[in-house]
Structure 1
Amino acid sequence: MPRRKTMPPPRTSSDHKKPISLKRLAEHLGLSSATVSIVINRKPLSDMIPEETKTRIWEAASRFNYRPNIIARSLRQQRTYSIGVLLPEFSDGYSALVLSGIEDYLLGKGYAWLAASHRHKDELIREYPHLLYTRAVEGLITIDTPYDEHLPFPVVSVSGHQTIEGVTNIVLNHDRSAELAIGHLHELGHRRIAFIKGQSFSSDTQVRWDSIRKACRSFGITVDPQLVAQLEGVSPSPEPGYQAAKRILANKVDFTALFSFNDVSAIGAIRALQEADLHVPESVSVVGFDDIAVAAYHIPALTTIRQPLGHMGSLAAETLVERIAARGNEGPALLEVEPELVVRESTAPLSTAKAVPSGKG
């Protein structure tokens, strides 16, 4: 693009503290207002503009305190360029990774997002989508949140398993996840496996449990009801996993491996095993789920099924933005992503020494 003569900056240093117009910023840079607008608003055409030029624009925008007039743009285009996000809580590693992916994508598209956590309260799950709608969001992303009401804008559901008109579900291939986890333990020689199921309110709990039982049948592994416990309570801490493992140990039934619903609960379960004088992985191998950041740094480092949570978040944001732009296009009903087995220190071949939790703890 032709470069214009550079105009002098605003007259005094005090002027730098006041926002300047797009036109004044463009004149200072010697560029057209259209070029500056394309970069500032992160429009698709910005990919065609040289990086050096984009850097100059952003540095000048920061120096002279330029702020896009979002209200004017919204009124002009009848758009708000904002979406809503509904999730269980902000402190959960799972939700944080999905949110990170959503944010990464939206930052590059000039969208803002408003998030609300419902803490698994039914009244908030029903109320918040409508509240976000009154805030003029153009679409909604739900994360691990069951929701079956029809909404007047496009919806993308991460870990959603309900078929609802107007909703795109982004889900993990749970059959493959179970095959990877159970197959790994089976290959290591484990046949007596304990399981920690997710809370009843989690969207993935029943789907994942059905896949686990299916994988166990294919590997010839019997699921003993006394070796199954369900997470209870809404705490995102390791405590529910710790308590679930204690309940399994209290049944005094031998097992050599444990597959937990997520990494956080697996970490709590490991603490319960250690208190029962059972070493991981020498006495009991443990497999988690999700591959949150702390999984690699826990002692022992956690073997887990990696759920591409960041990718699921960015895919959800991309799908929603495309559906908003398409106006009336419902988009795909289902998008499936693939898991990955990450082997670390918490699993090992079955020892010749038999694990005997019944006499410990």
Structure 2
Amino acid sequence: MGPTIHDVARLAGTSKSTVSRYLNGQQVKKATEEALEKAIKELNFHRNANARRLVLDRTNIIAVVVDNISNIFYSGIIRGIESVANMKGYNCIFLSWTSNYEDEISFLNLLYEGQVDGVILVSFQKRAKEDLERIRESQYPIVLIGDHGDMEDIFAVDVDNAAGVSELVTYLHSLGHRDIAYISGPVHAAANKHRFKGYLKSMEALGLNYNADWVVESDWSNQGGYQAMKQLLQRQSGFTAVIASNDETAIGALRAVQESGMNVPKNMSVVGYDNITISEWVYPSLTTVSQPFHQIGQKAAQGLFQKIEGADDAAENTHYLLKPNLIIRDSCGKI
């Protein structure tokens, strides 16, 4: 059996209750704190997490549930969450529901069973209405990153996808482009709808003509972007630029344009969305927009801890749309 708080108290020359208060985060005299730290180190004492949990009625653990742990975009979000959790003295557990063959909503049982103090659900896929209704009706600390179905009374953080595409249209317009094609993404991605809205609204706001023949779908892969661009080129009728709704698609589109014998950006401008690492290394380097993933994670974690701590303003400003940033590189030219 390892050392107990009785052993710590005896070596530090203080009482068991003082040791307990100190371990539970309450203030003690400076000299007592130094004696306790010295005793803890000398005895190699470790707190009993289960006992502490019973005393404080909390686990000091939050769960972060993602739809696919291999998604490269989630690393920045996770770092943002961890930065806030660490400041609060909390640990994080990370769960991937696709690899566990579970649905996202089932992980709320961790909350209901008292295994964690709060849950952040992270997914860029569309969420089912009935799942969102269950989350809205729950009294437990739950925060969403991604789709919230435009429902009120759900704390959710996302990127302003429409604003990102709008920046791309505006930038191309500033270079003289008036005929701009668009490659959309898969219907299951919540961001796809908002990015396409940004394209339509900004085209209208700038007085640019919308041509349905200049819009094709992709699956947000390199191959999907390549095939979509080939479709556009086959029906080519005057557009001078193309917005691909993610960088993978844009890279595939870039190859299709170059294989057709056209030069990017001399004959055609190509832009993407997401600012993945490879977008800087393709030729020409890709103009795109960067999403503030670290900030997304921070904002979500801050909202979760407001709920955990019962802050009076925990329900205010429940929907946050963070602004992406335009990254100008070499894949666009003036006309």
Shift of 1:306: 2.0
d(CA) in 2 for partners of 1:117, 1:237: 22
- Is the CA contact (8 Å cut-off) linking 1:86 and 1:129 kept in structure 2? no
- Is the CA contact (8 Å cut-off) linking 1:174 and 1:207 kept in structure 2? yes
Tell me the amino acid that sits aligned with residue 349 of structure 1: K
Judged with a 3 Å threshold, the aligned counterparts in structure 2 of structure 1 residues 258 and 19 are, in CA distance, closer, same or farther, namely farther
Aligned length: 316
Confirm or deny that 1:275 pairs with 2:259: yes
Corresponding residue number in structure 1 for 2:212: 225
Q: Pairwise mapping of residues 197-346 of structure 1 onto structure 2 (< 5 A)?
A: 197-232=184-219, 237-326=221-310, 329-346=314-331
Shift of 1:241: 2.8
Moved more, 324-333 or 306-315: 324-333
* Counterpart secondary structure, 2:134: coil
d(CA) in 1 for partners of 2:254, 2:154: 38
Judged with a 3 Å threshold, the aligned counterparts in structure 2 of structure 1 residues 219 and 163 are, in CA distance, closer, same or farther, namely closer
Match of 1:80 among 34, 59, 64: 59
Confirm or deny that 1:90 pairs with 2:69: yes
* Counterpart secondary structure, 1:148: helix
Moved more, 85-94 or 191-200: 85-94
d(CA) in 1 for partners of 2:311, 2:169: 44
Moved more, 317-326 or 101-110: 101-110
1:85-119 CA distances to partner (integer Å, 9 max, x unpaired)? Answer: 33332222322322222222223323233333345
* Counterpart secondary structure, 2:320: strand
Corresponding residue number in structure 1 for 2:172: 185
Corresponding residue number in structure 2 for 1:102: 81
Consecutive unaligned residues of structure 1, counting only runs of 5 or more, are: 1-17, 351-361
- Is the CA contact (8 Å cut-off) linking 1:303 and 1:345 kept in structure 2? yes
d(CA) in 2 for partners of 1:201, 1:331: 29
- Is the CA contact (8 Å cut-off) linking 1:83 and 1:113 kept in structure 2? yes
% same residue: 28
Shift of 1:254: 4.0
Shift of 1:283: 2.6
Judged with a 3 Å threshold, the aligned counterparts in structure 2 of structure 1 residues 272 and 91 are, in CA distance, closer, same or farther, namely farther
Shift of 1:229: 1.9
Consecutive unaligned residues of structure 2, counting only runs of 5 or more, are: none
TM (norm. structure 2) is: 0.77
d(CA) in 1 for partners of 2:239, 2:57: 61
